[in-house]
Chain A
Amino acid sequence: MIYPLCFLLILVGLYGVVANRNTVKIVISLLIMQHGVHLLLILIGYRTEGTPPIMDPGTPPTVFSGAAVDPLPQALVLTSIVIGLGVLALLVALCVRLYERYGTFDVGEMTRLRG
């Protein structure tokens, strides 16, 4: 049930990127889409009634790997969040500079490159 909701979140973000005219709203929709992707990644590693993947020194590894959720997607999501942060910083800087040049946040006005 939760996987379709995850995809719905991704699609909402995608719709926002396509349909918005304000550059800042496009960037925020991109962020929503990235949240959806990260949620999907974490859910793929989820195990019902699983324990957090932190190992006590006393637990044998087989018991641990049978009970804990998968830590690898969590590591992937952490990396992806950081990459998303870098891209967000660049995109917001572009939005600010675009406002300085064009005087508006409306992508419909930024049509110097055509053909």
Chain B
Amino acid sequence: MLIPLFIAIPLAVAFLLPLVARGRPIVSDCLANATMASLTIMAFASVGEVTLYHMGAWPTPIGIDLRLDPLASLLLITVNVVGLAAGIYSVDYMRQYRDKRRYYSLFLFLVAGMNGVILAGDLFNLYVLMEIAAVASYALVAFGCQHEELEASFKYAILGTLASSFILIGVALVYGVTGTLNMTHIASRMSDSGMDPSLLFATALFLCGFSMKAALVPFHAWLPDAHPSAPAPVSAMLSGVLIKAIGIYVMARLIYNVFGADQGVLGLLRWLGVISMVVGGLLATGQWDMKRLFAYSSISQVGYIVLGLGLGTPLGVVGALYHLVNHSIFKSLLFLNAGAVEYATGNRDLKRLGGLNRVMPVTGATSLVASMSIAGIPPLNGFWSKLIIVVACVQSGFYGLAAVAVAVSIVTLGYQLKVQRYAFFGAGSPVSTPPRVEPRLMATAMVVLAIGCMALSVLVISGLDDPILIGPAAHALLGGVFAL
């Protein structure tokens, strides 16, 4: 299959949409959702293939490569499924904004950038596609153009551009030392020569830059403002897949497959993970804005993923990748639920909501599934991934980290119960206008993601240490320097 189509199709449709879809909004709806559906089908069809595509048929050291391996397939499926759900949801949700054409155009730029980052085999190509996704996300966060959206987008844009500059300095240093930008080539040059002080500096810069993109704790300041301010399907994409595709995935690739995972860097990842878990979880319990609570919760769950990656053992990496996929599905579902609540009642303040289960049964039920998943209640998917991470911690001898992981899981249960109790259960609050039922397409998108939550727990049937799609992806990561 042609791998560049993952980048070319959304990019082409994103350019065409403002030109072609001038009439009624349904044209842009259909075009964008058809694109996302075809990308999802292509992503599922790419499972099991391992391909290297040379752009322009230039051979490897000279040309730019696109690489498809099991880890890339896993991330492609995640990004495109969440994108399809968010796209279907946007059909009804974005009716309250005026410019659906440009919204879908930016949305498809976001998807194209993420697909490109996942497939990139060349450091600078990765940087360019990451910037495409990032700039589209800055514009999407500011989409409503109200006070809070603009403030959040400005903060996000400045910090995101700083992060990209750090990454570019890192790329410059890597090029200066190894003389190449192709990731396989860098890996082979580094395995001959070993770690240079400039490469250590480049690793530090990459860690800073990608931690800012992934919103790990010292670098998380933009996320609690940006994710609530964006429209709900964009929040689902940002929190569900963007921070993972351009943050964690690239960090994992560079550390495991290009630079080689040494214990210093892995120890740093464990620290970042633990601090993010604890700070994100504790700060989430005090929030009364539903989406801001979910944003802090994202920081906490990303801490779990980075902790799993920092363990360095096969089971740790399996747990991290499984939690990455799980979190994409249930966090995007939670943000879509928050959007439905906001669509129906007009506010997201937990103190002023209540009893929504009676009025919005679909939202209530899917939000219950998502809350139980994120809290780690068996047999849903979150339980298995957190269990694998805790067992991996114990296996490596980090009993303290395992205890913190379990404690933060209980904190997660706490704030999810807070959302459930204040928004969905309980007596209805005295609001002036009665809430409206969520429209059919929004409900469909939420149900699809909830079924995905339950279906993902089936992945562990082939064993806790080698789940169905996650096992090969973890092997691709743990295989050390690229062997393609």
| A residues lining the B interface (CB < 8 Å) | 10, 14, 17, 23, 26-27, 30, 33-34, 37, 40-41, 44, 72-73, 76, 79-80, 83, 86-87, 90-91, 94-95, 97-98, 101-102, 107, 110, 112-113, 115
Contacts and interface: CB of A to CB of B under 8 A. Distances in A.
A90 B162 contact: no
B438 interface: no
B145 A97 contact: yes
Contacts of A80: 168
A72 B168 CA distance: 14
Contacts of A23: 154
Given A34-B161, A76-B172, A113-B151, 19 more contacts: A30-B165, A33-B162, A40-B172, A44-B176, A73-B175, A87-B138, A91-B154, A97-B145, A98-B150, A101-B146, A102-B147, A110-B151, A110-B154, A112-B147, A112-B148, A113-B148, A113-B152, A113-B225, A113-B229
7 contacts: A30-B165, A72-B181, A94-B142, A98-B150, A101-B147, A112-B147, A115-B292
Contact of A41 (B131, B150, B154, B172): B172
Nearest to B134: A87
B157 A14 contact: no
B135 interface: yes
Interface string B109-144: 000000000000000100010010001001100100
Given A44-B175, A79-B128, A112 B169 contact: no
A40 to B, nearest CB: 5
B154 A76 contact: no
Which of A86, A95, A107, A112 has the most chain B CB atoms closer than 10 A to its own CB? A112
Contacts of A37: 165, 168-169, 172
Contact of B124 (A17, A79, A113, A115): A79
A10, A83, A113: residue with the most chain B Cβ atoms closer than 10 Å = A113
> Which residue of A10, A34, A41, A83 has the most chain B CB atoms within 10 A of its CB atom?
A83
> When A and B form their complex, which 7 residue pairs have the shortest distance between CB atoms, in order from nearest?
A44-B176, A113-B225, A41-B172, A110-B151, A83-B131, A101-B147, A94-B154
B45 interface: no
Contacts of B175: 41, 44, 72-73, 76
A83 B125 CA distance: 12
Interface of B: 124, 128, 131, 135, 138-139, 142, 145-148, 150-154, 157-158, 161-162, 165, 168-169, 171-173, 175-176, 181, 224-225, 229, 286-287, 289, 292
Contacts of B286: 115
B144 to A, nearest CB: 11
A58 B162 CA distance: 45
Nearest to B154: A94
Contacts of A115: 224, 286-287, 289, 292
A90 B152 contact: no
A90 B153 CA distance: 10
B165 A34 contact: yes
A114 B138 CA distance: 19
Contact of B158 (A83, A91, A97, A110): A91
A113 B221 CA distance: 11
Q: Chain B interface mostly helix, strand, loop or mixed?
A: helix
Contacts of B145: 97
Nearest to A95: B154
B153 A94 contact: yes
Tell which of A17, A23, A90, A95 has the most Cβ of chain B within 10 Å.
A90
A102 to B, nearest CB: 7
Contact of A73 (B147, B157, B161, B172): B172
A91 B157 contact: yes
A73 B181 CA distance: 10
Contacts of B225: 113
A101 B172 contact: no
B157 A94 contact: yes
Contacts of B146: 101
Contacts of B138: 87, 90, 94
Nearest to A33: B165
A112 B229 CA distance: 11
A6 B61 CA distance: 29
A39 to B, nearest CB: 10
Contact of A76 (B124, B150, B229): B124
A41 B151 CA distance: 32
Given A44-B175, A87-B157, A90-B138, A101 B150 contact: yes
A68 B131 CA distance: 30
B134 to A, nearest CB: 8
B135 A86 contact: yes
Contacts of A110: 147, 151, 154
B168 A41 contact: yes
Contacts of B181: 72
Nearest to B289: A115
B154 A17 contact: no
B292 A10 contact: no
Nearest to A110: B151
A113 B175 CA distance: 40
Nearest to B176: A44
A25 B151 CA distance: 16
B139 A90 contact: yes
A44 B139 CA distance: 33
Nearest to B147: A101
